[in-house]
Protein backbone atom coordinates (compact mmCIF):
# COMPACT_ATOMS: atom_id res chain seq x y z
CA UNK A 1 0.00 0.00 0.00
CA UNK A 2 1.19 3.49 -0.82
CA UNK A 3 2.24 5.58 2.18
CA UNK A 4 -0.04 8.47 1.23
CA UNK A 5 -2.96 6.23 0.33
CA UNK A 6 -2.96 4.79 3.85
CA UNK A 7 -4.26 8.14 5.08
CA UNK A 8 -8.01 8.71 4.93
CA UNK A 9 -9.45 11.62 2.96
CA UNK A 10 -11.80 13.80 4.99
CA UNK A 11 -15.12 14.62 3.29
CA UNK A 12 -16.23 18.23 3.85
CA UNK A 13 -19.88 19.03 4.41
CA UNK A 14 -21.92 19.38 1.23
CA UNK A 15 -19.74 17.00 -0.82
CA UNK A 16 -21.39 13.91 -2.29
CA UNK A 17 -19.35 11.04 -3.71
CA UNK A 18 -20.66 8.12 -5.76
CA UNK A 19 -18.71 5.24 -7.26
CA UNK A 20 -20.13 3.24 -10.15
CA UNK A 21 -19.41 -0.39 -11.04
CA UNK A 22 -17.27 0.57 -14.06
CA UNK A 23 -14.77 2.51 -11.89
CA UNK A 24 -16.11 6.04 -12.36
CA UNK A 25 -16.19 8.26 -9.28
CA UNK A 26 -18.61 11.20 -9.37
CA UNK A 27 -17.86 13.96 -6.86
CA UNK A 28 -20.39 16.78 -6.46
CA UNK A 29 -20.10 19.82 -4.21
CA UNK A 30 -20.88 23.52 -3.91
CA UNK A 31 -18.23 24.55 -6.51
CA UNK A 32 -19.23 22.02 -9.21
CA UNK A 33 -18.91 18.38 -10.18
CA UNK A 34 -15.83 16.35 -11.16
CA UNK A 35 -15.45 12.79 -12.47
CA UNK A 36 -12.45 10.56 -11.82
CA UNK A 37 -11.79 7.17 -13.42
CA UNK A 38 -10.35 4.71 -10.89
CA UNK A 39 -7.91 1.97 -11.88
CA UNK A 40 -9.15 -1.60 -11.94
CA UNK A 41 -8.57 -3.10 -8.49
CA UNK A 42 -9.32 -0.01 -6.38
CA UNK A 43 -12.43 0.56 -4.32
CA UNK A 44 -13.74 3.40 -2.16
CA UNK A 45 -14.83 2.79 1.42
CA UNK A 46 -16.68 5.51 3.34
CA UNK A 47 -16.64 5.56 7.15
CA UNK A 48 -18.57 8.56 8.46
CA UNK A 49 -16.82 11.63 7.08
CA UNK A 50 -13.66 9.70 6.12
CA UNK A 51 -12.98 8.13 2.72
CA UNK A 52 -10.45 5.34 2.14
CA UNK A 53 -9.09 4.25 -1.26
CA UNK A 54 -8.30 0.55 -0.85
CA UNK A 55 -6.68 -2.02 -3.13
CA UNK A 56 -8.19 -5.42 -3.77
CA UNK A 57 -5.75 -8.16 -2.75
CA UNK A 58 -6.38 -10.39 -5.78
CA UNK A 59 -5.46 -7.70 -8.31
CA UNK A 60 -1.86 -6.57 -8.64
CA UNK A 61 -1.47 -2.79 -8.57
CA UNK A 62 1.73 -0.85 -7.90
CA UNK A 63 2.12 1.44 -4.89
CA UNK A 64 2.68 4.39 -7.20
CA UNK A 65 -0.63 3.83 -9.01
CA UNK A 66 -2.43 3.47 -5.70
CA UNK A 67 -1.01 6.80 -4.49
CA UNK A 68 -1.81 8.46 -7.82
CA UNK A 69 -5.50 7.55 -7.73
CA UNK A 70 -5.72 8.50 -4.04
CA UNK A 71 -4.36 11.95 -4.98
CA UNK A 72 -6.78 12.27 -7.93
CA UNK A 73 -9.76 11.53 -5.67
CA UNK A 74 -8.47 13.95 -3.02
CA UNK A 75 -7.99 16.68 -5.66
CA UNK A 76 -11.54 16.13 -6.92
CA UNK A 77 -12.91 16.50 -3.38
CA UNK A 78 -10.82 19.63 -2.76
CA UNK A 79 -11.88 21.09 -6.12
CA UNK A 80 -15.61 20.78 -5.54
CA UNK A 81 -15.39 22.10 -1.98
CA UNK A 82 -12.72 24.86 -2.19
CA UNK A 83 -11.78 25.13 -5.89
CA UNK A 84 -8.41 25.69 -7.54
CA UNK A 85 -6.84 28.92 -8.76
CA UNK A 86 -3.88 29.90 -10.95
CA UNK A 87 -2.64 33.45 -11.43
CA UNK A 88 -0.71 34.70 -14.46
CA UNK A 89 1.03 38.03 -14.96
CA UNK A 90 1.76 39.79 -18.27
CA UNK A 91 5.09 41.60 -18.30
CA UNK A 92 6.01 43.82 -21.25
CA UNK A 93 5.17 47.18 -22.78
CA UNK A 94 1.73 47.05 -24.40
CA UNK A 95 0.90 43.55 -23.15
CA UNK A 96 -2.78 43.47 -22.15
CA UNK A 97 -5.51 40.94 -21.54
CA UNK A 98 -9.29 41.23 -21.51
CA UNK A 99 -12.21 38.85 -21.24
CA UNK A 100 -14.62 39.25 -24.16
CA UNK A 101 -17.59 36.91 -23.77
CA UNK A 102 -16.27 33.35 -23.78
CA UNK A 103 -12.82 34.32 -25.07
CA UNK A 104 -9.67 35.63 -23.43
CA UNK A 105 -8.28 38.37 -25.71
CA UNK A 106 -4.49 38.76 -25.38
CA UNK A 107 -2.44 41.55 -26.91
CA UNK A 108 1.14 40.31 -26.76
CA UNK A 109 3.06 42.46 -29.22
CA UNK A 110 2.00 40.46 -32.26
CA UNK A 111 0.55 42.18 -35.33
CA UNK A 112 -2.72 40.34 -34.75
CA UNK A 113 -4.86 39.89 -31.62
CA UNK A 114 -4.77 36.45 -30.04
CA UNK A 115 -7.94 35.03 -28.56
CA UNK A 116 -8.18 31.85 -26.49
CA UNK A 117 -11.51 30.07 -26.00
CA UNK A 118 -12.32 29.77 -22.26
CA UNK A 119 -13.71 26.36 -21.25
CA UNK A 120 -17.24 26.51 -19.84
CA UNK A 121 -16.20 25.04 -16.48
CA UNK A 122 -13.62 27.77 -15.75
CA UNK A 123 -13.96 31.36 -14.56
CA UNK A 124 -11.36 33.78 -15.89
CA UNK A 125 -10.97 37.33 -14.60
CA UNK A 126 -8.50 40.08 -15.54
CA UNK A 127 -7.45 42.80 -13.09
CA UNK A 128 -5.62 45.96 -14.22
CA UNK A 129 -5.21 44.51 -17.71
CA UNK A 130 -2.14 42.44 -16.79
CA UNK A 131 -3.19 40.04 -14.01
CA UNK A 132 -5.14 36.96 -15.14
CA UNK A 133 -6.88 34.74 -12.56
CA UNK A 134 -8.16 31.30 -13.59
CA UNK A 135 -10.54 29.47 -11.21
CA UNK A 136 -12.27 26.12 -11.45
CA UNK A 137 -13.11 22.88 -9.68
CA UNK A 138 -10.96 20.54 -11.82
CA UNK A 139 -7.27 20.90 -10.99
CA UNK A 140 -6.12 19.39 -14.27
CA UNK A 141 -8.31 21.68 -16.37
CA UNK A 142 -7.21 24.83 -14.48
CA UNK A 143 -3.54 23.95 -14.86
CA UNK A 144 -3.89 22.96 -18.52
CA UNK A 145 -5.64 26.20 -19.47
CA UNK A 146 -3.05 28.26 -17.54
CA UNK A 147 -0.26 26.44 -19.38
CA UNK A 148 -1.96 27.05 -22.75
CA UNK A 149 -2.24 30.79 -22.02
CA UNK A 150 1.40 30.94 -20.85
CA UNK A 151 2.52 29.12 -24.01
CA UNK A 152 1.18 32.01 -26.12
CA UNK A 153 4.21 34.10 -25.05
CA UNK A 154 6.49 32.40 -22.50
CA UNK A 155 8.93 34.66 -20.62
CA UNK A 156 12.15 35.23 -22.55
CA UNK A 157 15.51 35.12 -20.73
CA UNK A 158 16.96 38.50 -21.81
CA UNK A 159 14.36 41.08 -20.76
CA UNK A 160 11.88 38.81 -18.96
CA UNK A 161 8.96 39.87 -21.17
CA UNK A 162 6.07 37.45 -21.60
CA UNK A 163 3.41 35.64 -19.58
CA UNK A 164 4.50 34.03 -16.34
CA UNK A 165 2.92 32.45 -13.31
CA UNK A 166 2.46 34.76 -10.33
CA UNK A 167 5.48 33.64 -8.29
CA UNK A 168 7.60 32.28 -11.17
CA UNK A 169 11.24 33.35 -11.23
CA UNK A 170 12.84 33.86 -14.64
CA UNK A 171 16.62 33.75 -14.60
CA UNK A 172 17.95 36.38 -16.97
CA UNK A 173 20.95 36.04 -19.26
CA UNK A 174 23.56 38.76 -19.76
CA UNK A 175 23.43 39.22 -23.54
CA UNK A 176 26.06 40.17 -26.13
CA UNK A 177 27.04 43.60 -24.74
CA UNK A 178 28.39 42.13 -21.50
CA UNK A 179 30.40 39.41 -23.24
CA UNK A 180 33.49 41.44 -24.23
CA UNK A 181 33.98 43.23 -20.91
Backbone angles phi, psi at 126, to 5 degrees: -125, 125
Nearest to 44 by CA among 77, 85, 3: 77
Does 4-81 match 84-165 in CATH topology? Answer: yes
CATH superfamily of 4-81: Ribosomal protein L6 (3.90.930.12)
Cα–Cα distance for residue pair 177/32, rounded to 1 Å: 53
A 10 A CB-CB count for 106 gives 22
**Confidence class for position 147, pLDDT limits 50, 70, 90:** very high
Cβ distance 143 to 158 under 8 Å? no
CATH superfamily of 84-165: Ribosomal protein L6 (3.90.930.12)
Burial 112-128 (b: 16+ CB within 10 A, else e): eeeebebeeebebebee
Nearest to 120 by CA among 97, 140, 96, 103: 103
Task: State the average pLDDT over residues 61-82.
Answer: 88
Task: State the average pLDDT over residues 96-113.
Answer: 88
Digit-coded pLDDT (tens) for 124-141:
999 998 899 999 999 999
Enumerate residues 6+ apart whose C-beta is below 8 A from 98. Answer: 104, 105, 126, 129
Task: State the average pLDDT over residues 142-170.
Answer: 90
Domain locations in the chain as residue ranges: 4-81, 84-165
3-state secondary structure of 148: helix
Digit-coded pLDDT (tens) for 9-48:
888 888 888 888 888 889 998 988 889 888 888 888 888 8
Interhelix angle 139-150/63-81, rounded to 10 degrees, is 90
Backbone angles phi, psi at 10, to 5 degrees: -80, 135
Amino acid sequence: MSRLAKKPISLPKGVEIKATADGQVHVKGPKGAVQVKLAHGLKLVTEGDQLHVNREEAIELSKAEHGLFWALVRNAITGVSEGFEKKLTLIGVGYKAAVAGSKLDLQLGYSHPTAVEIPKTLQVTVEKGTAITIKGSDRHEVGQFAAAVRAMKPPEPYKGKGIRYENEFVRKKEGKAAKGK
